[in-house]
Amino acid sequence: MNGREPNWAYVAWSLVKVLAVTAALYLAFSAADRVLSVFVDDDERMGLVYGTAARIANPDKRLPYGQGDAGWLLNTTYTLHGEPRRAGLSEGRREYEIVPSLFGTVRAPSLDGPSGSLGDAVSSVVPDTAVDSGDVRQTIDGLPQTLKAVAVVEFAQPMTSERLVAFNRRHKICGGADVSYIYAPYYYDDSTSETPLNAVVWNRGMTEDYIREDFAYQCETEPEAALAGFRQWVGRLDEGDDLSAFMLDYAWLSEAAKEGLVYGLVVDRWKLADLRKLLDDSDVGTVRLADVAFDLGEAE
């Protein structure tokens, strides 16, 4: 019994259609991938916008550099490499992923804000609130003054850049990677359904532009350069940038850039003796210690 002869013309035509659809899908995805890489979330913009936003919202981490995978449309990620911001020796580096979706949203599960004692210290900065610094004076006086500390210096009143430059000159403070500026305090209103917003903590070394370049801090006048750099970065954001994964938003950052006030400093691995001196300045409300450690990198 002979089987029916296949309709080779029909088979050939079906194969052509399958190949045509496959080629069309490939071209469509390739085109979309190119469009997104050029206009939306290429590695450079991922680093500029989301990498910097992650650093601003997470001052409890040192996140010195990041990289994108330059991957296919559906698996693009940007990875930050860093470590917890502690006063002592490094506890080892880890990776933090930022993952955009096709719909413009961004996931960053471990970068939604600071935690631990430094997170508490940053979140405790409240403008125009009297703070009793007696306890911290007693604490610092009872410790070896050569200890290194990570701390928040909270100002009695928000400072303009000009006043902060004068403050730096009085105390011989040089701007650097160890001094970051709190341009907006943590916001939370339990009487509304509004989403909390992280404090805006800025240092010029947070942006990929500066990370990739060899730039110099400006010592006592760094607060002016820092504010100019912050305003420049905010000016490069789009209102549609999804910063919710970092508990930030465009309006919050824009308002902080417009006001240009500094509510406090996050200082990294300063000697306790230097922090203690600041408590005698009427511009300082208090110092909130987050971590202290012996400096094992220096000979005794």
- Per-residue HEC secondary structure of 80-125 comes to EEEEECCCCCCCCCEEEEEEECCCCCEECCCCCCCCHHHHHHHHCC
At 12-60, the pLDDT tens digits run 677 767 777 776 666 655 545 544 543 444 668 888 999 999 999 999 9
Q: Residues 156, 285: contact at Cβ < 8 Å?
A: yes
Give buried/exposed letters for 6-36 (b at 16+ CB in 10 A, else e).
eeeeeeeeeeeeeeeeeeeeeeeeeeeeeeb
Measured between alpha carbons, how far is 13 from 26 in angstroms, rounded to an integer? 20
Which regions in the chain score pLDDT beneath 50? 31, 34-35, 37-41, 298-300
Beta bridge partners of 201: 182
- CA distances to 16, 72, 76, 176, 247 from 198, rounded to whole Å, are 56, 32, 26, 23, 6
Tokens representing residue 203 in the block:
């240092």
pLDDT of the residue at 293: 96
pLDDT value of residue 75 = 58
Q: Which burial class, exposed, middle or buried, applies to 296 when counting CB atoms under 10 A from its CB (0-12, 13-18, 19+)? A: exposed
pLDDT reported for residue 131: 76
**CA 15, CA 116: separation in Å to the nearest integer?**
61
The 3-state DSSP class for residue 13 equals helix
Q: What is the pLDDT of residue 26?
A: 64
| Structural domain boundaries in the chain | 116-238+259-293
Count of residues making up the chain: 300
Backbone angles phi, psi at 258, to 5 degrees: -65, -45
Other C-beta atoms closer than 10 Å to the C-beta of 134 total 10
Arithmetic mean of pLDDT over the chain: 87
